[in-house]
Amino acid sequence: MDGKLASDFGLMKYVNELRQYDHAFLTAEGATYFSKPFGFTARTYVAHANPKAPKGLTLDNGAASAEGIDAVDLAQQICRHVGIKYDEKFGRGSQLRSCCDALESWCNKP
């Protein structure tokens, strides 16, 4: 799929929505929702809650663990899948924005 086809498939809707999940852990269903339009199923993992740690994972339902993926890891998987490069950043929020910026450029490329 090239950039022109990407715009034809309305993929910017998913890029714009994913961009809003800064520092978020998405469920396996959420990972599928965002990756399927790009032609693949994202790899997920089981993450364990550690809400007492600085910047630890807090699961809203109080569960000890959940299957899913960090939004930035998902954005990186999407970029790799469609074959686009993105700038490496240090913070997770900055990295998510960098990946989404690269996906946006790819989607809007003539």
H-type helices in the chain, by residue range?
3-8, 12-19, 28-35, 71-82, 92-108
Q: Which of 81, 92, 105, 93 is closest to 15 using CA atoms? A: 105
Total structural domains within the chain? 1
Convert the pLDDT of each residue in 42-86 to its tens digit: 999 999 999 888 888 888 888 999 999 999 999 999 999 999 999
| Measured distance CA(108)–CA(100) in Å, rounded | 12
pLDDT exceeds cutoff 70 at 99: yes
Question: What is the pTM (predicted TM-score) of this model?
Answer: 0.89
Assess if residue 14 is contained within a domain. yes
Assess if residue 110 is contained within a domain. no
Bridge partners of residue 72, in order along the sequence: none
Assess if residue 78 is contained within a domain. yes
| Measured distance CA(110)–CA(105) in Å, rounded | 10
Assess if residue 16 is contained within a domain. yes
Domain hosting residue 65, numbered range = 3-105
For position 25, what pLDDT does the model report? 95
DSSP 8-class letter at 83? T
